[in-house]
Structure 1
């Protein structure tokens, strides 16, 4: 799929329409209507009144200017990938904790990624990019539209590892909600407002929560097709130091992929920290300090980090990828 023309949300829409049209050779199934001009008019109106730019102009004053890594010229040999898979039992516990804290799973994972960066990189506050769908409910029919709407923009909030878990969750939720309300600005315009240059950036890592629409293809669907795997996982080389892809699966698992230009041992350190926070936060009270969650002992049945090397060895020996033993649901 060409990501210059279609975003991740568009892929299941495209697949569903292709299969439906394939099954309906006469072409009697109409595609949902969407006028792209409506989206452009809405976006232009939001930017024209100046409130979006004014909000960002004030917000970026509190952002650090991070060093932009020398990614140009790097070869694929410097690009690493690691993965961790949480089983249904862990995911259910984490989901219950999110409901108790009155936050979403996506916002909670972003809070934990911010704490991971503080712990591993020694930063004084969470600051990273978040990818949004860019599909405002104010635009009629945009949920059915195919095209490039997504955007990746920076978030930052004040929190230290000595602050309680609930504060982290609340501030991450607020930061993401604010971002969605102002996500129609482009990064070139934002960089101009922030005064960054080729040596500085507003974020060097970013999080993509893959909550795209499901494809309604089964034996009873109009297309008559059923999908073997609805959650394809893929990585591609990128412009930033690290990218976190989070895939909630229909079968109850949660896959977290970390990719980028860091050595394998560094990716392992990020993912083990994120894993321990995920597991420990699931049973913690909101008053527990983030530092206490980081200091808690590793759970015996915690999932292991799988590297690209592990995957290649498994393929070479025709053995399963070495996640931990499957859980009983």
Structure 2
């Protein structure tokens, strides 16, 4: 059979899916690759890799000597490129991509493998399945002492347009029916291995409420009340579905949608798949099309792939990697059980790096062959090192968990992510650029061993669940954002998307790349105060600016700068907090002084 051209496949896509392809990675790649002269691919391997680069990086013309980072490549592009190259018969790793950086160099290094086909969709008889690595730990904490709202994810957005309620409900129901992960629940008993069970017939709960008579202030208050009650309601994990929807009408053409699900069934990448599928189905139903949605590659295929892996190499890696590490590098002091959620509502501190500073960071990354996520993740490690006055730090990082070796992994829906320890050495006399290159190599190496549950990593390090290895994690939100602010379907526009979640750690630093990098710290107010958390974000921004301004700066200089800046902002934040409190107190006293006491009348009650 003749090989199907990618242009033919694209031509069969719906308008919405063509939009999805156009938004596959929401970065505009640079059209120029510097002064390197253009050279067309010559060998078969070069042709394959150039085609993959064109598709993923969305660049029409790829030369074999064009630089990967100059074309706008980053860690998420790398995952997709490695996966598609594997499907086309060439084996390489993300680390190969970061180090070689050109099609010509990669073609020499790539190892031929048999071309693979996508796994079939979920078979009807695959109703009883094991748990993935992250699911194991998350289920353990969900049933072992965490609050009812533990790991409950709330996705909120505003839908602008004429909403057809029947079509919207039907679109969700069809996607739930076609997606096994959305019909999964969990069965567990003492002494037995927990299992996830896919229920064949599930109806997704959806309620519509009319808020049009309410004022803006009343709607805001009602939404907060709903989110709090909805989160505290939680889920009975043994009953499917572990998701529900609430839609609140604000105006004839405006609705607020709250999609609540348990984190056990979906990660952020999968959320985007589900939302995109729902919007596609909604458009089709409004047009009168009654075809069923296409089935995605099976999550069960990923679990089968995991079962075939030998964990010995991963256990050896983690045992060696964590050997000799001392006390955990904590941000909140002792007393944390990693992953256990004891308070359902966290607070946030945010900082947005300016567009100019973000462009400066991007230029630095392209020049030195590192990703923005690597730089900011490394910056958090350096912050911890300076704060604790140590050269050896450890904190958590979240990895995608989608194996490039498994065909179709990037298209699957389920919980793939994993949270693992990142140990960094911070020698004082090392230059920033050299250290960042070493850090990126360490992170790429970690991803080669990302499928071991955290509990087994802790055991390999000689620590049980009660102690834990870290109490802060860094999450780089670098999955493709297919449903973003201002996007949506042909008939509905999605605005103000937001996600509320508690991952069970005192502090979670979420990094969202874009035209301006957003730093968001979710923290436990019982363990950390806002001034300290916000000061940490400011110090991190300071580090990034110093790094890209002077790449030859040593870590010793950077650490000194950051510790001083952190403490300055902690003190400033606490002074501001006290001043605001004193101002409120003075205002309250003034109001009290202006109130006239009511006259009283003797002679009994009236």
Deviates more, 1:95-104 or 1:29-38: 29-38
The structural deviation recorded for 1:171 is 2.1
Structure of higher CA gyration radius? 2
**Residue in 1 aligned with 2:510?**
245
**Residue in 1 aligned with 2:276?**
16
RMSD of aligned alpha carbons:
3.3
**Residue in 1 aligned with 2:553?**
288
The structural deviation recorded for 1:136 is 1.3
Question: What are the superposed Cα offsets for residues 260-319 of structure 1, whole Å, 9 maximum, x if unpaired?
Answer: 23122321331121010012212222x2112333556999xxxxx999x99xx9xxxxxx
1:215 equivalent to 2:477? Answer: no
Match 1:267 to one of 527, 533, 544: 533
Asked if the contact 1:63/1:202 (under 8 Å) is kept, the reply is no
Return closer, same or farther for 1:135/1:223 CA change in 2, 3 Å cut-off: farther
**Residue in 1 aligned with 2:325?**
63
- 2-side partners of 1:199 and 1:255: how far apart? 33
* Count of residues paired in the alignment: 300
Deviates more, 1:155-164 or 1:8-17: 155-164
**Residue in 2 aligned with 1:6?**
266
Asked if the contact 1:133/1:151 (under 8 Å) is kept, the reply is yes
**Residue in 2 aligned with 1:323?**
none
**Residue in 2 aligned with 1:180?**
447
Asked if the contact 2:474/2:510 (under 8 Å) is kept, the reply is yes
1:167 equivalent to 2:434? Answer: yes
Q: Quick one: higher RCO (CA 8 Å, sep 6+), 1 or 2?
A: 1
**Residue in 2 aligned with 1:256?**
519
Asked if the contact 1:7/1:147 (under 8 Å) is kept, the reply is yes
Match 2:392 to one of 125, 128, 143: 125
**Residue in 1 aligned with 2:368?**
101
Asked if the contact 2:352/2:518 (under 8 Å) is kept, the reply is yes
Return closer, same or farther for 1:165/1:306 CA change in 2, 3 Å cut-off: same
Question: What are the superposed Cα offsets for residues 227-260 of structure 1, whole Å, 9 maximum, x if unpaired?
Answer: 324xx444534432321001123xx121101122
The structural deviation recorded for 1:168 is 2.2
Deviates more, 1:14-23 or 1:121-130: 121-130
The structural deviation recorded for 1:216 is 6.0
**Residue in 1 aligned with 2:377?**
110
The structural deviation recorded for 1:70 is 3.8
Asked if the contact 2:373/2:476 (under 8 Å) is kept, the reply is yes
- 1-side partners of 2:401 and 2:487: how far apart? 32
- 2-side partners of 1:276 and 1:127: how far apart? 21
Match 1:137 to one of 383, 404, 418: 404
Return closer, same or farther for 1:223/1:18 CA change in 2, 3 Å cut-off: farther
Return closer, same or farther for 1:59/1:98 CA change in 2, 3 Å cut-off: same
User: What secondary structure, in the 3-state scheme, does the structure 1 residue paired with 2:510 have?
Assistant: strand
- 2-side partners of 1:233 and 1:217: how far apart? 10
Question: What are the superposed Cα offsets for residues 1-46 of structure 1, whole Å, 9 maximum, x if unpaired?
Answer: 3211111111111111001111112343643531223212221222
Return closer, same or farther for 1:266/1:221 CA change in 2, 3 Å cut-off: closer
Unmatched runs of 5 consecutive residues or more in structure 1: 300-304, 314-329
1:277 equivalent to 2:566? Answer: no
User: What secondary structure, in the 3-state scheme, does the structure 2 residue paired with 1:227 have?
Assistant: strand
The structural deviation recorded for 1:76 is 6.2
Return closer, same or farther for 1:54/1:242 CA change in 2, 3 Å cut-off: same
The structural deviation recorded for 1:147 is 0.7
Match 1:85 to one of 349, 352, 361: 352
1:154 equivalent to 2:415? Answer: no
TM-score between the two structures when normalised by the length of structure 2: 0.45
1:196 equivalent to 2:463? Answer: yes
- 1-side partners of 2:390 and 2:319: how far apart? 23
- 2-side partners of 1:284 and 1:138: how far apart? 39
User: What secondary structure, in the 3-state scheme, does the structure 1 residue paired with 2:373 have?
Assistant: helix
Asked if the contact 1:210/1:247 (under 8 Å) is kept, the reply is yes
Matches within 5 A, 1:279-318: 279-285=545-551, 287-295=552-560
User: What secondary structure, in the 3-state scheme, does the structure 2 residue paired with 1:155 have?
Assistant: strand
TM-score between the two structures when normalised by the length of structure 1: 0.80
- 2-side partners of 1:73 and 1:143: how far apart? 29
- 2-side partners of 1:110 and 1:132: how far apart? 12
1:33 equivalent to 2:296? Answer: yes
Return closer, same or farther for 1:225/1:2 CA change in 2, 3 Å cut-off: same
